[in-house]
Amino acid sequence: MIETNIDDMGGELFGYIMDRLMENNALDVWYTPIYMKKNRPGVMISVLCKPEDEAVLKDILIGETTTLGVRSYAAYRNVLDRHWERVYTKYGCIRMKVARNERVCKAAPEYEDCRKAAEKYGVPIREVYDAARLAYEKMGCGGE
Q: Which pLDDT belongs to residue 96?
A: 97
| Contact of 91 with 128, CB cutoff 8 Å | yes
Instruction: Give the DSSP H/E element, type plus range, for residue 116.
Output: helix 111-121
Burial of 14 by CB count in 10 Å (0-12 exposed, 13-18 middle, 19+ buried)?
middle
- The span from the CA of 70 to the CA of 59, in Å, is 10
Residue range(s) in the chain whose domain bears CATH number 3.10.20.300: 81-139
Cα-based angle 37, 48, 64 (whole degrees, multiple of 5): 60
| Contact of 41 with 35, CB cutoff 8 Å | yes
- The span from the CA of 11 to the CA of 23, in Å, is 20
Q: Which pLDDT belongs to residue 103?
A: 84
Q: Which pLDDT belongs to residue 141?
A: 63
pLDDT digits (tens, 9 = 90+) for 78-108: 888 999 999 999 999 999 999 988 888 899 9
Residue range(s) in the chain whose domain bears CATH number 3.30.70.1380: 2-72
Query: How large is the average pLDDT for residues 15-20?
Result: 97
Given 3.10.20.300, 2.30.42.10, 3.30.70.580, 3.40.1280.10, which CATH number is that of 81-139? 3.10.20.300
Indicate if the pLDDT at residue 9 is higher than 90.
yes
Q: How many CA atoms within 13 Å lie on the side-chain side of 41?
A: 5
Cα-based angle 53, 59, 61 (whole degrees, multiple of 5): 100
Assigned CATH class of 2-72 = alpha beta
Cross-strand partners of 92: 89
Q: Which pLDDT belongs to residue 142?
A: 52
Reported confidence tier of residue 144, pLDDT bands at 50, 70, 90: very low
What does pLDDT average to over the chain? 94
Strand ranges (E), the chain: 2-6, 28-35, 41-48, 71-72, 81-89, 92-100, 105-109
pLDDT digits (tens, 9 = 90+) for 39-83: 999 999 999 999 999 999 999 999 999 999 999 999 998 888 999
Pairing of strands 28-35, 41-48: antiparallel
